[in-house]
A and B are shown apart, each in its own frame.
Chain A
């Protein structure tokens, strides 16, 4: 059974459980790999810049850095394989077995729960993007009420998902060129280099600008988001990004009275003194997915 707390209250502030330890471990591994891969790969892509030899030298120069790059790439590949197994296991545990218990196990019902899983793109994402644009363009003062995973987070998941497939495949082609060219013409190495190098730049810019902005540098989070370490998302971020899901969780926890307004104002600040430390155990809660 899960032993985490859906909502943790510390010093009067609520924190919402978001990532399991195994998810956090996967995230830290991919983050480390990607940073190392970028630092040991970019000097090759930008080999004629003034900084390239110095950055490369930090990783042992031309003799060692390619080895470091390959090690990090291999770890990333293994992580991706682990992740596929993890996803498969989760599908069995959270979809197939419950459906079996309800005696509803059919291909259509499994597909339906796959398609409606919170991480899958949905029409709500399109509506949310349009609503977000309205908010950005000062047409409305309401942010879209986000679900458990917002479109940004889905992007953050699926973009690296595609990215890893491309990067690992092309990386392996260039690494094992002797084997690959037994079956394929040499031009695939040219194409692999293009794909590897361009996709790497896209991934690096995407992660180090877009993702870092959203999770660390945005004024709501600055200087650093901690959910990737603690697993808990503070309430103000929950309200800002996941309002729809926030209301669900709060209702499920029986904290309807304490739901904040969408703009984050303490709408329900009561006369009652706030409890400073309280935990709401998951056993008290119905499961919210």
Chain B
């Protein structure tokens, strides 16, 4: 057995080296800014893949063009994959988002890391421990970075007269007055304007949250009160989001306190939470949404599911209308089908009445 494994490994090694040499000879050196380690030498090939130890298909292909449009375009491969020191490399470890990468954060001039985000998250509704520091049950359900984030693409905005969303040539012209490197200009334009709005549209945001918050098992395990994205989808907000309206509120617009980030969301029963019943009115009545709303508007049951357990009043109200509809339509449809059937056999009858003929003869008599 062992011999076989070694043989296989050897085969793999040999074929790998052969491929590696072929790639070195065949491919001109790539010159991507982020690709100092020349990783794309191999990873630019769309077929680069393998079945990993868990039996999962892994695609290792990196589309350079797409990657360069992403928010991590300036991060070198080694920035997220520090365990890779030589080529060819061993199977890479999973990326830890809290690693210090080689980017210098300009305001502090320190190496950048997402550690601060993790700290925010640790005191939010999505923390692995509760307020008393006790670990929550089912820690594997609590989201970490990669449960919500992939490597998002830039989604630049324009603010000039009559221009499309995206990079504006007018803006670029202004940047070039002072900044010399176009690569720098593009990146900062993208960086800043992408963050002035949302990378994802409301529908996509809801989909991300729904991965857990519409999962029946997770809802039951954590005793959540609603299938959040499903019930949101039954409101006008959710329906408009489904029709790709961008300006409609999504999960984050109501659940994130203005001025804070997604990672600081609190449970609705926390008095500091914007979704706490005492604070909720401020969200609805925000300047850009329902400025004339009173706090009472926030007593609208956004996450009502109309089932008996969760919202009995609404449920029975709905039952009344279903009974009304059924009670009206079913008898009428019954009559309709009887009518259709009767018209198939207009002359068939169990007992022919004399009156019709009688009337006829009466009239004829009169005529005569």
Contacts and interface: CB of A to CB of B under 8 A. Distances in A.
Interface of A: 43-44, 47-48, 52-53, 56, 61-63, 132-133, 135-142, 159, 174, 177-179, 181-182, 184-187, 189-191, 193-195, 198-199, 201-202, 205-206, 209-210, 213, 218-219, 256-257, 259, 261-263, 265, 267-268, 270
Contacts of B318: 194, 198
A55 to B, nearest CB: 11
Given A187-B313, A209-B336, A265-B360, A181 B296 contact: yes
Nearest to A197: B321
A64 to B, nearest CB: 11
Nearest to A194: B318
A265 B341 CA distance: 21
Interface string B280-314: 00000000001011101111110010100001011
Contacts of A259: 363
A202 B293 CA distance: 32
Contacts of A268: 363-364, 367
A181 B293 contact: yes
13 contacts: A44-B236, A62-B244, A138-B345, A178-B297, A190-B304, A194-B318, A205-B329, A206-B332, A213-B339, A257-B366, A261-B359, A262-B356, A270-B367
A194 B359 contact: no
B329 A206 contact: yes
B351 A178 contact: no
A190 B306 CA distance: 9
Interface in B315-363: 317-318, 321-322, 324-325, 328-329, 332-333, 335-336, 338-339, 341-343, 345, 347-353, 355-356, 359-360, 363
B179 interface: no
Interface string B93-126: 0000000000000000000000000000000000
B245 interface: yes
B317 A194 contact: yes
- Identify the interface centre among A63, A141, A219, A256: most chain B CB within 10 Å of its CB: A141
Contacts of B235: 193
Contacts of B156: none
A159 B336 contact: no
A185 B296 contact: yes
Given A181-B297, A187-B314, 10 more contacts: A136-B338, A141-B352, A178-B293, A185-B296, A186-B301, A206-B328, A206-B329, A261-B359, A262-B356, A268-B367
Contacts of B290: 177-178
A202 B328 contact: yes
- Identify the interface centre among A136, A190, A195, A209: most chain B CB within 10 Å of its CB: A190
Given A47-B242, A195-B321, A202-B325, A210 B332 contact: yes
Contacts of A201: 325
A253 to B, nearest CB: 16
A136 B334 CA distance: 11
A135 B338 CA distance: 10
Given A159-B328, A194-B318, A141 B293 contact: no
Contacts of A141: 347, 349, 352-353, 356
Nearest to B238: A47
A198 B234 CA distance: 13
Contacts of B244: 62
Contacts of A140: 349, 351, 353
Contact of B321 (A194, A219, A270): A194
A167 B299 CA distance: 23
Contacts of A191: 314, 317
Contact of A139 (B306, B335, B350, B363): B350
Given A209-B333, A209-B336, A138 B350 contact: yes
A178 B295 CA distance: 10
B240 interface: yes
Nearest to B341: A136
Contact of A136 (B329, B335, B367): B335
Given A189-B300, A267-B359, A61 B243 contact: yes
Nearest to A260: B363
Contacts of A184: 296
B363 A62 contact: no
B56 to A, nearest CB: 31
A221 B80 CA distance: 75
B239 interface: yes
B301 A190 contact: yes
